[in-house]
Chain A
Amino acid sequence: MEQVFLVAVLISAFIGLILLGFGIRELMRRGDTEIGGLSMAGAWRRIGAVARATIAEGVRMKMAAIFIVVMLASMPLLAFFGEGDGTIKGRIQMFLGYVMGLTTFMLALMTLVLSTRSLASEITGRQIYGLAAKPIPRWQIIAGKWYGVTLLNATMLAVAGLGTYGGVRYIMWSFQRQMRHELVERGGLTDEQAVACVRAIDEVRGPGPKGVDSPIIPAMAEALDWENRAVIDLLIKLPEESRANLRRLDEVRRQVLVSRASLRPEEEKIDEMVEMRYQQLKQANELPENMTEAKVREELVKQFRSALRVIPPQTGRVWRLAGPPPFQGRDFLLSVRFKCEGFVPAVQLPNGMNLGEESLVTSWCVGDPQSPSAYFWPEVDGPQPTNAWVEFEAPTQAIDPSGQIRLYCANIDPRNVDAVFALNGLEVLYSAGTFGANIARAWLVLLMPLMLLAAMGVFFSTFCTFPVALLVTLVLYLAGVSGGFLAEAIGITADIFPEYPTSMDEFRRATAQVTLALLSVSNVDVSARLVDGRLLDWTTVGREAIRTMLLKSLPLLLMAVYIFRRRELAAIIV
């Protein structure tokens, strides 16, 4: 029965699409008097010609040139002078984040200026007469303008992509050069020895133990043909920061210059549990009298959700996560990130260990505990900070080749308090691709909002003058990119929204959500993903393409064509 229903839905959706296309075509045909009409013959050639003219205009335009120059100049500046948090990892993360943010912002401004000015100024300056008099349909002029701006953006993004990649490589190289310098100046090595050491450090994979057991010590000893003890003596000559930095080279590779899949535990079937509990309460006649059935169910959902995020004292919990197959490279590692919330009384244990207010003692196992490949963390039980993200790494063997991961957490805090996980407070990350491919997909996703902005600009330029079109699109763009901030400001985010909303609150939230969704230019925080070395998969790229291109840009362009075809470009004077 279900299958029949699905087929019926599919057929009706298909018919709906055909009718929609037909309707749009008919709408466009009304009053169709122009040469060529909606004909596709020779369209690419003509669209290409308009696009080339638009690109030339963009290159000539001083304002657009300023944005491009700022964008291009910012990359080396950030690579040379960006400090991040003072570590190589922070420097690269900051470089990636700011280059992407600044590039998209500058290109967005350039897109808005170029797309709104191109057509509007041609109409105002009457240059459009020359174009409109030629045998080129108006929809092709619109498409050409949009295509030209998009091509320019794609070129600039490709340049920025290469610049980003180069910038990252430069930061890594300068860091290695600094390491060599420290080893020569402070450690007293020769240049050749320092080069060999850095090469050996570069080959060390995985976090490994710290201090005198660090895996870099035998690696350096082998490279120098020294005893381990001599290497330790060499390392203690280095300043503390330089010693810490030796291990960060691999950390960058494992945590930033990587493409990691992110898995979160799936929400359990709360509906069934709620239903069961509701029926129990009903049978026991314990339903609250002053609450409606919907309200009771809502409260039960909240209770179950909270309970599922809690591990009671001296107990444990198992999660089974499934993700894409892991990427079998040399740097394959798995990271577990978690965040527990709450404050507990600080105590000092008899062994002298201090447990602070914002700490909790938990113990983790990745993989089957009976298996020799299981990984236990931490090696020595100790407090982990609460109200902050904690990340630890586990080796490759702990994950099943199919992408299945078993995760176990035990709450062993001696203060006998609950371990309360934050909402979405558990995440497993593992390598599922290469950094290079990820960065390429990232720039592709970044192009999509720019295409939407170009469509928006062209649309407004068909019926507004340049200043008006620019102002409107700029306001819409700024509202679109600050959607999260606006949602917080008007109090519709989950943490601020009233616990017991009135129908007015619900209406306010629904209208605000729809408005913000319409205004939003992108749904993917590309820079955050890249900075954390997270995978940007093709599904995300596809979704973003459907949302920005199909659902937003296409209707805008169709409307632009509709308006432009009906617009009287020159008044007939008799």
Chain B
Amino acid sequence: MKPAAKCWIYLLTGVALLAASGTYVAPINAMRVESKLLASTIQEDANPNHALAVLMAIGRAPLVDYLWLRATKLKEEGRFFDALQLSEWICKLEPRFPSVWAFHAWNMSYNISVTFNSPEERWRWVKNGLSLLRDRGIPANPNAVQLYKELAWIYFHKVADYLDDKHWYYKNEFALMMEEVLGPGDSPDWPGIAAAPTEWKAVAANPQVNRLIGEMQLLGIDLAKPGVMLGLIDQRRAARSATQPAEPPAWWAVLDAPEWAEPIRVVENYWRSKRLREELKLDPKRVRELIDTYGPLDFRLAEAHALYWANAGVRYGRVRAVWLDADKMNTDRIELFCIQNMYRRGKLILSPEAKKGVPPLLMPDTRFIEPMYQAYIEISKHYKASDINTSGLVSENFDTGFKSFIRDAIVRLYQEGETTRAQHYFDLAKMHYPHEDYNHGLEYFVDGMIRGEMKVMTTYQAQNTVVGYIQRGMLLLAYGRSVEGLNYLRLARRVHEAYNKDVREGIKLRPIEEFIAQCLAAAKSQMMPEMYERLARHFDSAAAASQPR
């Protein structure tokens, strides 16, 4: 064969093989994208935020060293005026190094924040740490479980937990911030927000919305502008509780008209969804999935955010193919702790005076009993194989905790009037954990649990319990939550009666009215005037109602 012919054969074979393998590039890339095996997309790499690392390719190492030294020196000197900027620059120069992001976020949220006395300053630094990870670190390293874990931990431990002196301030501000995005209350229109389009064009294509846009344009209002729709809704809501003006603005009529309710809802959900995605980096669709899985998560609570990010870490974190990934395991744990917390204190009650610094109230949320129960069952699957005794519902590793959880849940559900659900768990407990307590039915069990507590109480403890319930009840009334408040006052009476019934004359508690009067007097000196007015109004109306006609 001629050498030239050989060349052609080689060349053509090579081209054919390359072309054949080239046809597989697209599916392989799709698989890489699906499995999040790409460090980042071309669009992300072309982002101006990443340009610094590329531009500084030559002098990057000494510059990073200098910035680290400066950051350390200024921290030692207690000067933090450019700590945020330095952290950002260092991270931008080492964008693919998750530990660097994690360190700086932790440093700002924990180390720097506690050097300040005022809650505002502290909260600012906690937020700086959160946003460094959430807004920059995770988008740059979408597969790094460590970053999801750190972010979830800061939400869970720094904001949601009670360890920081100023944690009530954080909780309050966090809830207010979320209400600004999602609207007031604990149940935003998640299905609507999750289904909202991501482009304004798609929203405007809806004929009803289009008509609404036109109607508002006639009044000089452009709904396509960020903040306009949500601002109008907020203003209208605030105006409802204030003195009505003689000449209400023309747009009030549009907002109040029932025929515009649906397009307004669509536009509102679009803007809320946009703010969630862009400001808080939360995907509304994933939020909805989480709510479907775990129950009615209240995203005004930091625990819900911790759960979201921990769950995201478990889902997307594929950075290390190791048998035991400590970050992943810790992320799993955070998920479980979050559900636990939701059950213990997942009901958030914001005071009408929250913006004046009155902290929120956190109450147990029985809606999380089932998710908690399922979580126990789920994590037990992994350990049950190695159990000796397999009769219980959960692995023997969690047996004790699970039993006390189920007893507590039965009593709590019963107290809240959810007897059917209480009965369901009672039956389960009776079947799997036979005990004489369960032999005489649900009511006897609940009564016994409460009486059991009473029996071991000293007079002092009983008095504290009664006063505690009264104070809680009064606080709820002052927060405008009459139903829950009255429940607590009833509970105080019940404990008072139960205790006095069982003990001899000499150590009986004083009449409950005395405790109430004492707590009311204390509330007057401790509460804000607006709150006390609300509380006193309740007692005045109660007294008026009890007067003979």
- In the bound complex, residues from chain B placing their C-beta under 8 Å from that of A385 are 114-117
Q: A274–B116 Cα gap in the complex (Å)?
A: 39
A552 to chain B: closest CB distance in Å?
A: 25
Within 8 A of A (CB), among B337-357: 355-357
Chain A CB count within 10 A is highest, among B81, B84, B120, for B81
Contact B165 A236 (CB under 8 A): no
The answer to whether A85 and B117 have CB atoms under 8 Å apart is: no
Whether A390 lies near B120 (C-beta < 8 A) is: no
B82 touching A212 by the CB < 8 A rule?
A: no
Q: Give which listed residue, A84, A358, A532, contacts B84 with CB less than 8 A.
A: A84
* Residues of B with C-beta under 8 A to A568: none
B residues 164-207 with Cβ under 8 Å of A?
Answer: 165, 173, 176-177, 180
Question: What 0/1 pattern do residues 317 to 329 of B give for CB contact below 8 A with A?
Answer: 0000000000000
Interface centre among B82, B118, B173 (most CB of A within 10 A): B82
User: Is A94 positioned at the interface, with any CB of B under 8 Å from its CB?
Assistant: yes
B82 & A97 in contact (Cβ 8 Å cutoff): yes
From A87, A211, A354, A389, B124 is in contact (CB under 8 Å) with: A87
Minimum CB–CB distance for B237 against chain A, Å: 12
Q: Which residues of chain B are within 8 angstroms of A384 by Cβ–Cβ distance?
A: 117
- In the docked arrangement, what's the CA distance between A148 and B85, Å? 37
User: Is A82 a contact of B81 with CB atoms below 8 Å?
Assistant: no
Q: Is the CB of B81 within 8 A of A89?
A: yes
CA distance A390 to B78 in the complex (A): 9
A531 contacts B81, C-beta separation under 8 Å: yes
Q: Is B503 an interface residue (CB 8 A)?
A: no
Are the C-beta atoms of B114 and A232 separated by less than 8 Å?
no
1/0 contact trace for A324-351 toward B, CB 8 Å? 0000000000000001000000000000
Quick one: which of B114, B125, B356 contacts A212, CB cutoff 8 A? B356
Interfacial chain B residues near A390, Cβ < 8 Å: 117
Scoring A residues 511 to 545 as 1 if CB is less than 8 Å from chain B, else 0, what string do you get?
00000000000000000000110000000000000
**What residues of chain B lie closer than 8 Å to A94, measured between beta carbons?**
81-82, 85
Q: Assess whether B78 is in contact with A388, with CB atoms less than 8 Å apart.
A: yes
Inter-chain contact B165/A383, CB cutoff 8 Å: yes
Q: CB-nearest residue of chain A relative to B131?
A: A86
In the complex, A93 has a CB within 8 A of chain B: yes
Nearest-Cβ distance from residue A333 to partner chain B, whole angstroms: 17
For A67-100 the 0/1 string (1 means CB < 8 A from B) is 0000000000000001111110110011001100
Closest A residue to B86 by CB, please name it: A94
CA distance A82 to B86 in the complex (A): 11
Which of B83, B84, B165, B357 touches A354 (beta carbons < 8 Å)?
B165
Which chain B residue lies CB-closest to A243? B120
The answer to whether A85 and B120 touch across the interface, beta carbons within 8 angstroms, is no
CA distance A98 to B66 in the complex (A): 14
Of A87, A232, A356, A389, the contact of B115 (CB 8 Å cutoff): A389
B115 (CB) vs chain A CBs: closest residue: A388
Q: Are B114 and A83 in touch, CB under 8 angstroms?
A: no
Contact between B356 and A236, CB atoms less than 8 A apart: yes
Residue of A nearest to B85 (CB): A83
Of the candidates B69, B84, B118, the one having the most CB atoms from chain A within 10 angstroms of its own CB is B84
* A210 to B118 CA separation, bound complex (whole angstroms): 10
Interface flag for A468 (CB, 8 Å): no
B423 within 8 A of A: no
* SS of A interface (majority): mixed
B80 at the interface (CB under 8 A from A): yes
- Could you say which residues of chain B place their CB within 8 Å of the CB of A85? 80-85, 124-125, 128
| Contact yes or no, B84 A240, CB < 8 A | no
B174–chain A nearest beta-carbon distance, Å: 10
CA A90 – CA B124 in complex, angstroms?
A: 12
| A391 to B: closest C-beta gap in Å | 9
User: Using a CB-CB cutoff of 8 Å, which residues 219-237 of chain B contact chain A?
Assistant: 235
Distance (whole angstroms) from the CB of B443 to the closest CB of chain A: 37
Is A241 on the interface with B (CB-CB < 8 A)? Answer: yes
CA distance A324 to B527 in the complex (A): 47
**For B176, what are the chain A residues with a Cβ–Cβ distance below 8 Å?**
240
Determine whether A485 belongs to the interface, using a CB cutoff of 8 Å to chain B: yes
Which single residue of chain B is at the shortest CB-CB distance from A186? B231
Interface residues of B in 111-160 (CB under 8 A from A): 114-118, 120, 123-125, 128
* CB–CB A388/B81 < 8 A: no
A244 at the interface (CB under 8 A from B): yes
A383 to B165, CA, bound (A): 10
Q: How many residues of A contact B (CB 8 A)?
A: 35
Closest residue of chain A to B108, judged by CB? A85
Write the nearest CB–CB distance from A387 to chain B, whole angstroms.
Answer: 8
Chain A residues near B165 (CB-CB < 8 A): 354, 356, 383
Give A198-253 interface residues, CB cut-off 8 Å to B.
210-212, 232, 236, 239-241, 244
CA distance A90 to B69 in the complex (A): 19
Q: Which residue of B lies closest to A239 (CB)?
A: B180
> CB within 8 A of A93: which of B82, B116, B123?
B82
The answer to whether B81 and A86 have CB atoms under 8 Å apart is no
| Interface hits, B63-106 → A, CB 8 Å | 69, 77-85, 88
Residues of A close to B355: CB separation below 8 A: 236
Closest chain A residue to B118, Cβ basis: A210
Q: When the two chains form the complex, which single residue of B78, B85, B118 contacts A82, counting CB atoms closer than 8 Å?
A: B85
Which A residues lie within 8 Å of B79 (CB)?
531-532
The CA-CA distance from A86 to B124 in the complex, in Å, is: 8
List A contacts of B124 (CB < 8 A). 85-87, 241, 244
Residues of B within 8 A of A356 (CB): 114, 165
A383 to B117, CA, bound (A): 9
Chain A residues, Cβ within 8 Å of B118: 210
Nearest B-chain residue to A97, judged by Cβ: B82
Inside 8 A of B128's CB, which chain A residues have their CB?
85-86
Chain B positions within 8 Å of A188 at CB level: 235
- How far does the alpha carbon of A385 sit from the alpha carbon of B79 in the complex, in Å? 15
Least CB separation from B128: chain A residue: A86
Shortest CB-to-CB span from A423 to chain B, Å, is: 12
Task: Digitize A353-378: 1 where CB-to-B-CB distance is under 8 Å, 0 elsewhere.
Answer: 01010100000000000000000000
Q: How far is the CB of A543 from chain B (nearest CB, A)?
A: 22
A84, B81: Cβ atoms under 8 Å? yes
User: Which residues of A lie under 8 Å from residue B116 when comparing CB positions?
Assistant: 385
Docked Cα-Cα span, A390 to B115, in Å, equals: 8
Nearest B-chain residue to A354, judged by Cβ: B165
Counting chain A CB atoms within 10 Å of each CB, the highest count among B77, B114, B117 belongs to: B117
Bound-state CA distance A356–B165 (Å) is 8
Interface string of A168-211 (1 = CB under 8 A from B): 00000000000000000000100000000000000000000011
> Of residues B114, B116, B123, B128, which shows the largest number of chain A Cβ atoms within 10 Å of its Cβ?
B114
In the complex, the answer to whether A90 meets B82 with C-beta atoms within 8 Å is yes
Please give the distance in Å from B89's CB to the nearest CB on chain A. Answer: 10
Chain A 371-411 near chain B by CB (<8 Å), digits 1 or 0: 00000000000011100111000000000000000000000
What is the minimal beta-carbon distance from A571 to any residue of chain B, in angstroms?
Answer: 42
Question: B residues within 8 A CB of A86?
Answer: 84, 124, 128
Task: Identify the closest chain A residue to B124 (Cβ).
Answer: A86
Instruction: Report the minimal beta-carbon distance from B352 to chain A, rounded to whole angstroms.
Output: 11
B136 shortest CB reach to chain A, Å: 13
C-alpha spacing A239/B77, complex, angstroms: 31
Give the residues in chain B near A89, CB-CB below 8 Å: 81
B359 CB, min distance to chain A CBs, angstroms: 13
Which residues of B are found within 8 Å of A358, using beta-carbon distances?
114
Give the distance in Å from the alpha carbon of A78 to the alpha carbon of B123 in the complex.
Answer: 25
Given contacts A86-B128, A358-B114, A388-B114, 11 further A-B contacts (CB under 8 A): A84-B82, A85-B82, A85-B128, A87-B124, A90-B81, A97-B82, A211-B356, A211-B357, A232-B356, A389-B78, A389-B115
12 contacts between A and B (CB under 8 A): A82-B85, A86-B84, A89-B81, A94-B81, A210-B118, A211-B357, A236-B356, A244-B120, A385-B116, A388-B78, A389-B115, A485-B69
Interface residues of A (CB under 8 A from B): 82-87, 89-90, 93-94, 97-98, 188, 210-212, 232, 236, 239-241, 244, 339, 354, 356, 358, 383-385, 388-390, 485, 531-532
8 nearest A-B residue pairs (beta carbon): A389-B78, A388-B115, A93-B81, A236-B355, A90-B81, A94-B82, A244-B120, A85-B84
